[in-house]
A and B are shown apart, each in its own frame.
Chain A
Amino acid sequence: EAGVTQSPTHLIKTRGQQATLRCSPISGHTSVYWYQQALGLGLQFLLWYDEGEERNRGNFPPRFSGRQFPNYSSELNVNALELEDSALYLCASSSYRPYEQYFGPGTRLTVT
């Protein structure tokens, strides 16, 4: 069974630009979650998508957004990048047991 995949592995952007991160869930999983892992802050919940709809979001500004496609893959968009957006962004997917989340390898976003 192929795991959760994320692309790109690394992304370097300058302040003010936009970043797009992609995630493909495990086949059969309909829920996708996004987390931010910033240095010293642990894993922070960003967004949850299920069946193409945003179901819940964490305490992040609206410039963090995303979508889920009909094939259940997902995009995370970060607009007007700020230096503090530099972090590892993890995507996870799950089926009917939301706590059993399977994580991807992450995308390292660096904002300069």
Chain B
Amino acid sequence: AQRVTQPEKLLSVFKGAPVELKCNYSYSGSPELFWYVQYSRQRLQLLLRHISRESIKGFTADLNKGETSFHLKKPFAQEEDSAMYYCALSIQGAQKLVFGQGTRLTINP
């Protein structure tokens, strides 16, 4: 079965500290993973995808197939990073996204 697990519902760090939001997945096919973000009073939006190996707003995420993980990282957190973050797995052929439960990140000043 396809599953995405985000073990932390809440994560709180201080401004300037490193951030790591954990994501683990279970999928028998070739995984395509994404991070979506929802800022306060805004819509859910795509943050980054593993295929592009890009850095968006200072965030990066590396797909580790051995550990079936796709953790989101940022070396120095900023207050505007406070948001709800969802890890998502794209199911080939079914064209649907399987989302994790989400992690609410709070950056303290």
Instruction: Judge: A and B partners, yes or no.
Output: yes
A residues 39-54 in Cβ contact with B at 8 Å: 41-45, 48, 50
From residue A1, how far is it (CB to closest CB) to chain B in Å?
13
Q: How many A-B residue pairs have CB under 8 A?
A: 53
Residues of chain B within 8 A of A42, CB atoms compared: 86, 99-102
Question: Is B57's beta carbon under 8 Å from chain A?
Answer: no
Residues of chain B within 8 A of A100, CB atoms compared: 46, 49
Alpha-carbon separation in the docked complex, A56 to B86 (Å): 22
Residue among A31, A41, A48 with max Cβ neighbours from chain B (10 Å): A48
Tally of contact residues, B, Cβ under 8 A: 19
Tally of contact residues, A, Cβ under 8 A: 25
Alpha-carbon separation in the docked complex, A55 to B49 (Å): 24
Residues of chain B within 8 A of A31, CB atoms compared: 95
From DSSP, what is the main secondary structure of chain A's interface residues? Answer: strand
Residue among B86, B88, B94, B96 with max Cβ neighbours from chain A (10 Å): B96
Residue among A41, A90, A98 making CB contact with B44, cutoff 8 Å:
A90
Question: Is A33's beta carbon under 8 Å from chain B?
Answer: yes
Residue among B43, B94, B102 making CB contact with A105, cutoff 8 Å:
B43
Question: Is B97's beta carbon under 8 Å from chain A?
Answer: yes
From residue B98, how far is it (CB to closest CB) to chain A in Å?
7
Closest to B43 in A: A103
Q: Which residues in B have some Cβ–Cβ distance to A below 8 Å?
A: 32, 34, 43-46, 49, 86, 88, 90, 94-102
Q: A42-B86, A103-B43 provided; 6 other pairs, C-beta below 8 A? A: A33-B96, A42-B102, A43-B86, A48-B96, A58-B96, A90-B44
